[in-house]
Amino acid sequence: MSLKVSAFEKEVSVLLKKYSEEELLKEAIRALFEVNPQLKLEVAVELYKDGEISLEKAAEIASMGVVEFREIISRKFGREVDSKGMEERVKKLEKYL
Protein backbone atom coordinates (compact mmCIF):
# COMPACT_ATOMS: atom_id res chain seq x y z
CA MET A 1 0.00 0.00 0.00
CA SER A 2 2.94 2.33 0.55
CA LEU A 3 3.66 2.28 -3.16
CA LYS A 4 0.15 3.52 -3.96
CA VAL A 5 0.45 6.37 -1.48
CA SER A 6 3.88 7.22 -2.82
CA ALA A 7 2.59 7.24 -6.40
CA PHE A 8 -0.34 9.40 -5.33
CA GLU A 9 1.98 11.82 -3.56
CA LYS A 10 4.09 12.08 -6.70
CA GLU A 11 1.02 12.82 -8.80
CA VAL A 12 -0.08 15.53 -6.37
CA SER A 13 3.43 16.96 -6.33
CA VAL A 14 3.41 17.26 -10.12
CA LEU A 15 0.02 18.98 -10.05
CA LEU A 16 1.13 21.39 -7.32
CA LYS A 17 3.94 22.57 -9.56
CA LYS A 18 1.38 23.69 -12.12
CA TYR A 19 -1.64 24.66 -9.97
CA SER A 20 -2.20 26.16 -6.53
CA GLU A 21 -3.59 24.08 -3.68
CA GLU A 22 -6.77 26.15 -3.81
CA GLU A 23 -7.26 25.48 -7.54
CA LEU A 24 -6.69 21.76 -7.05
CA LEU A 25 -9.03 21.59 -4.08
CA LYS A 26 -11.79 23.44 -5.96
CA GLU A 27 -11.40 21.13 -8.96
CA ALA A 28 -11.38 18.02 -6.75
CA ILE A 29 -14.54 19.10 -4.95
CA ARG A 30 -16.24 20.02 -8.23
CA ALA A 31 -15.42 16.54 -9.58
CA LEU A 32 -16.61 14.93 -6.34
CA PHE A 33 -19.95 16.75 -6.60
CA GLU A 34 -20.34 15.52 -10.19
CA VAL A 35 -19.66 11.93 -9.17
CA ASN A 36 -21.78 12.11 -6.02
CA PRO A 37 -24.56 14.73 -6.33
CA GLN A 38 -25.90 13.68 -2.91
CA LEU A 39 -22.99 15.61 -1.39
CA LYS A 40 -24.35 18.86 -2.84
CA LEU A 41 -27.64 18.18 -1.13
CA GLU A 42 -25.88 17.50 2.18
CA VAL A 43 -23.95 20.77 1.92
CA ALA A 44 -27.09 22.71 1.05
CA VAL A 45 -29.04 21.18 3.95
CA GLU A 46 -26.32 21.97 6.48
CA LEU A 47 -25.84 25.54 5.29
CA TYR A 48 -29.59 26.14 5.36
CA LYS A 49 -30.02 24.43 8.72
CA ASP A 50 -27.25 26.62 10.19
CA GLY A 51 -29.00 29.71 8.85
CA GLU A 52 -26.09 30.65 6.60
CA ILE A 53 -28.09 30.68 3.36
CA SER A 54 -31.68 31.14 2.26
CA LEU A 55 -34.01 28.36 1.19
CA GLU A 56 -33.70 29.57 -2.40
CA LYS A 57 -29.89 29.50 -2.32
CA ALA A 58 -29.90 26.07 -0.70
CA ALA A 59 -32.17 24.72 -3.42
CA GLU A 60 -29.86 26.21 -6.04
CA ILE A 61 -26.79 24.57 -4.46
CA ALA A 62 -28.65 21.25 -4.34
CA SER A 63 -29.60 21.68 -8.03
CA MET A 64 -33.33 21.41 -7.38
CA GLY A 65 -36.42 23.54 -7.11
CA VAL A 66 -37.39 25.34 -3.92
CA VAL A 67 -40.52 23.21 -3.42
CA GLU A 68 -38.58 19.97 -3.83
CA PHE A 69 -35.84 21.13 -1.46
CA ARG A 70 -38.41 22.27 1.12
CA GLU A 71 -40.04 18.83 0.99
CA ILE A 72 -36.69 17.15 1.64
CA ILE A 73 -36.00 19.49 4.57
CA SER A 74 -39.43 18.83 6.01
CA ARG A 75 -39.03 15.06 5.79
CA LYS A 76 -35.52 15.12 7.17
CA PHE A 77 -35.92 17.63 10.00
CA GLY A 78 -39.60 18.36 10.35
CA ARG A 79 -40.57 21.78 11.64
CA GLU A 80 -37.35 22.27 13.62
CA VAL A 81 -35.51 23.77 10.65
CA ASP A 82 -38.48 25.81 9.46
CA SER A 83 -38.97 27.40 12.89
CA LYS A 84 -35.25 28.09 13.26
CA GLY A 85 -35.20 29.66 9.80
CA MET A 86 -38.21 31.76 10.72
CA GLU A 87 -36.52 32.96 13.91
CA GLU A 88 -33.47 34.01 11.90
CA ARG A 89 -35.63 35.87 9.38
CA VAL A 90 -37.52 37.66 12.17
CA LYS A 91 -34.21 38.76 13.77
CA LYS A 92 -32.96 40.07 10.42
CA LEU A 93 -36.21 41.94 9.81
CA GLU A 94 -36.09 43.47 13.30
CA LYS A 95 -32.72 45.00 12.45
CA TYR A 96 -34.32 46.93 9.60
CA LEU A 97 -37.38 48.10 11.55
Taking CA 22 as the corner, what is the angle to CA 31 and CA 60, rounded to the nearest 5 degrees? 50
- Report the distance separating Cα 11 and Cα 75, nearest Å: 43
SS3 72: helix
- Report the distance separating Cα 35 and Cα 23, nearest Å: 18
Contact 73, 45 (CB under 8 A): yes
Residue 63 zone, left/alpha/beta (φ > 0; ψ -120 to 50; rest): left
Nearest CA to 62 out of 78, 73, 74, 75 is that of: 73
Residue 53: the pLDDT is 96
Q: For 66-95, what is each residue's pLDDT tens digit? A: 999 999 988 887 655 455 566 676 666 666
Between the CA of residue 22 and those of 15, 18, 26, 95, what are the distances in Å?
Answer: 12, 12, 6, 36
Q: For 14-66, what is each residue's pLDDT tens digit? A: 999 999 999 999 999 999 999 999 999 999 999 999 999 999 999 999 999 99
> What are the domain boundaries of the chain?
1-35, 37-97
